[in-house]
Amino acid sequence: MQRERSSRGGSDDTSPSWGNWSTSRAVAWTLVGSVLVLALAGFATGVLVMPGGADGGGVGDASGPTGGGVVGDVTTTAPTTDGSRSGGGAAGDGTDGGAATESPATTAEEPKTWTEYDGIVVFRNDDIQPYYRSETMRAVDQTFVDEGVPVTLGVIPQVNGEHSITESDVCTYLRERARENPDIFEFSLHGYTHEKRTDFHGGSEFGGLDPTTQREFVEDGTRTLTDCVGERPTTFVPPMDSYDEATVDALSAEGYTTVSGAGWFTADYYGTSEVFQQGGLVHVPNDGGFVANWTTGEFHDPATLEQRFDWAIEDEGLYVQMLHYQDFDTPERLEQLREFLQYVKGYGDVRFMTVGELGQHVADGTARQTDDGWEVYE
């Protein structure tokens, strides 16, 4: 067959007869066809494969933020058999001929923002110990679980002044509670032996005690509680709700961040009953508890408890409730606790926290009081 001449200067670039096409031209067209086939296959599978890659060897993909290949500025990933996304292109396209390594799926963190609340509410349950009204302790804990309200448990590390809490089965119980309900319970160090040792502000285990002994008690109590629950405490709840500057120094040296005593005590000793920072710690005073008469054990009536809560939220936007589990030893008292939790939950837009959580937010500057309540950066 004779080839036709082009009208442009007699060049022979028109379609040739396959019968007498040159070898070099056949090779060239074959390579072009191969590139087109590979490109179409790449787009079909979500991975663009180029022979030889950018540097003449391997697969021409780049790793993007999600671990997939990048085509221009578009990130691509290949699905795996289990529906997840694999990084680095399709299986078997690596330079060593092996399968691509799977990368776990990741989700972007929600951006934090300031959230407004009518108030912050904290519950503190003191005197956690073995051998004493254990069923009542479990029932009170379960009430907080049922209502979904977090609570700080004040745990006594030395029972009866001589037996470590680790010698009992209460540690197993506490670990199980924390594992099953990680967002409900915080474990705090509640003194050492819970004994009155001085007459400081009407009686105290720590306040007025010599600094060396206080430091020893904090160090040993911290080791014991850490062994018991498997995590180091950062919140201290002093027995009899009182402490002094030596207590704060000992706690700060041991890495504590928060201490919670009585509002009446901090008002007398520090001059304020509001949350404040001093001595390297955040001080979180409580507003009292259920018991109206410590001699008879008589409770406040529900209306009084609710009124005190209302006043605290209206005045400061903060309510810290102290209680002792052993006082809720009848079905009627347990029901009163449940009803009060439900009243607080239904009050408005309140944010529940543990003592330690509030202390951490205050220390970090991620919780601040406003004219209408509190704001939390979360």
Q: What is the helix (H) or strand (E) element at residue 377, kind and residue range?
A: strand 373-377
The residue behind tokens 């259920």 is: 290
Provide the β-strand partners of residue 71. 74
Give pLDDT, residue 33.
57
- Mean pLDDT value across residues 30-52: 49
Give pLDDT, residue 110.
81
Give pLDDT, residue 31.
54
13: pLDDT confidence band, cut at 50, 70 and 90? very low
- Mean pLDDT value across residues 111-128: 97
- Mean pLDDT value across residues 240-253: 98
User: With 60 as the cut, is the pLDDT of residue 6 above it?
Assistant: no
Of 208, 200, 204, 273, which is closest to residue 237 (Cα–Cα)?
204
Q: Which two tokens stand for residue 16?
A: 């040739």
Which range, of 38-47, 173-182, 215-224, 246-255, averages the lowest pLDDT? 38-47
Give pLDDT, residue 197.
97
| Amino acid residing at 51 | P
Which range, of 49-63, 191-205, 362-376, averages the lowest pLDDT? 49-63
Residues 84 and 331: beta-carbon distance below 8 Å: no
Q: 56-65, 86-95, 178-187 — which one is most confidently predicted on average? A: 178-187
State the fold for domain 114-377. Answer: TIM Barrel (3.20.20)
Sequence-ordered alpha helix ranges (H) in 230-326: 245-253, 263-269, 302-316
Provide the β-strand partners of residue 204. 198
Give pLDDT, residue 17.
42
**pLDDT by residue (tens digit) across 304-334?**
999 999 999 999 999 999 999 999 999 999 9
Q: 46-55, 62-71, 287-296, 350-359 — which one is most confidently predicted on average? A: 350-359
- Mean pLDDT value across residues 199-219: 98
160: pLDDT confidence band, cut at 50, 70 and 90? confident
- Mean pLDDT value across residues 165-175: 95
Which range, of 41-55, 99-113, 152-166, 181-195, averages the lowest pLDDT? 41-55
Give pLDDT, residue 65.
37
Kindly report the CA angle at 16 between 13 and 22, in degrees rounded to 5?
A: 90
Residues 154 and 237: beta-carbon distance below 8 Å: yes
Q: Strand 151-155 and strand 119-128: pairing?
A: parallel
Mean pLDDT for the chain overall: 81
Residues 123 and 356: beta-carbon distance below 8 Å: no
Give pLDDT, residue 41.
53
Q: Which two tokens stand for residue 180?
A: 């099953």
As a whole number of angstroms, the distance between CA 25 and CA 15 comes to 11
Could you tell me which residues come within 8 angstroms of residue 109 by beta carbon, excluding any fewer than 6 positions away?
none
**pLDDT by residue (tens digit) across 61-112?**
443 333 333 333 333 333 333 333 333 333 334 344 444 444 445 567 789 9
Residues 323 and 205: beta-carbon distance below 8 Å: no
Domain boundaries, the chain: 18-86, 114-377
Give pLDDT, residue 49.
41
Give pLDDT, residue 162.
73
